Amino acid sequence: MSDMEDPSRIARFRSAGIIAYRSVRELTQREKKHLLREILEVRGLMPLLMKPRNKQLWTSEDKAELKLHLRRLSEISPYLLVLMMPGSFLILPALAWWLDRRRTRQAPAAPAA
């Protein structure tokens, strides 16, 4: 009997495949919820941006809100870039992993003077 016909090897391969699939599915769901939450937070940006066009001035509160919206957009811009690419649903789990890895990375120690 060859290795490819070994039932225990096939069972292990199937089990690993199921675990990998579930892991990618959970990762995708988590990042999808995060992205949706951030997009909903940026919802009031368009009326705010249209104020000068409608002959209205931005108040200091409007400017602070604009900064907040732009900061949120800069955080989700990698997602938006990936979503515009063909086959993006395949790349999204890899992007989520990379962003998560970057978030948990330790800050480099400051050089001693």
Residues contacting 92, CB < 8 A, separation 6+: 28, 31, 79, 82, 83
Classify residue 71: in a domain, yes or no. yes
Its pTM surpasses 0.85? no
Classify residue 92: in a domain, yes or no. no
Average pLDDT over residues 73-101: 73
Classify residue 32: in a domain, yes or no. yes
Tokens matching residue 39: 């997009």
14 pLDDT band (50/70/90 cuts)?
A: confident
112 pLDDT band (50/70/90 cuts)?
A: low
Classify residue 21: in a domain, yes or no. yes
Classify residue 99: in a domain, yes or no. no
Classify residue 106: in a domain, yes or no. no
Total count of domains within the chain: 1
What is the span of the domain harbouring residue 47?
Answer: 7-83
Classify residue 76: in a domain, yes or no. yes
Classify residue 60: in a domain, yes or no. yes
Higher pLDDT, 92 or 72: 72
Q: Is 66 left (phi over 0), alpha (psi -120 to 50) or beta?
A: alpha
What is the reported pLDDT for 2? 57
Mean pLDDT score of the chain: 77
CA angle 33, 38, 41 (to 5 degrees): 130
pLDDT digits (tens, 9 = 90+) for 16-42: 888 888 888 887 788 778 877 877 777
